[in-house]
Copies of this chain bind each other. A is one copy, B any other.
Amino acid sequence: METTSRNSAEAPALKAAATRDRILAAAARTLSLKGYSATRLADIAEQAGLRPPAVYYYFPSREELIAEVMTVGQLRLREHVESALTALPDDTPPMDRICAAVEAHLRVELDLSDFATAVSRNSGQLPEDIRDRLRADSSAYFDLWRDLLVKARAAGAVRDDIDLRAARMLVMGALNWTPEWWNPRQGSLTGVIRTAQSLVRHGLGAL
């Protein structure tokens, strides 16, 4: 966004941007808790402390608002996993890189971002037009995982009986389904991460 010089128009513009962000955050929260079909505009408005018609001042429709939440969520998921990978030393073995991606995915989805949770829970439920618009973003994320697995296989770290595409999608499913069952009252996030990493490391690994 551009930096503007301070003037009398600035305060209302900032306030509008803040309100818009609040609506997006409220939509992400509601989607992450209730799922796509049960998410009503009235719930989002209530969560944002607004009356429902006010939402239409910022977003043309419920669908547009949800599409934006999904776009942001997809991006946060990917960026978080990418930064976790970038932070690793260059000589990190490929299976350790995969395990770092498992951890980053679970942390952003279960702990850090309602936007990412909204994506994991709802990507299979969207109407075709929203799904089409999200396809490029989600395929960038799938590409990241494909690349991790291809490099691991090239390094001899993945067993020969593993079909890489099936393995990638099974792992994505295991990770993406966690918001359906995990909650902090029933066990630590670290425990889930350790079990998921061990499953993936031994599940794929040529040990």
Contact = CB atoms under 8 A, between A and B. Distances in A.
Interface of A: 35-38, 121-125, 127-128, 159, 161-163, 165-167, 169-178, 180-182, 186-187, 191-192, 194-196, 198-200, 202-205, 207
A123 to B, nearest CB: 8
Q: Which 6 pairs show the lowest CB-CB distances between chains A and B?
A: A173-B177, A203-B203, A37-B37, A199-B203, A166-B195, A174-B174
A198 B161 contact: yes
A75 B81 CA distance: 38
Nearest to A125: B35
A165 B195 CA distance: 10
B198 A169 contact: no
Nearest to A166: B195
A191 B181 CA distance: 28
Contacts of A165: 186-187
A199 B203 CA distance: 4
Contacts of A121: 124
A202 B159 contact: yes
Nearest to A196: B170
Contacts of A170: 174-175, 177-178, 192, 195-196, 199
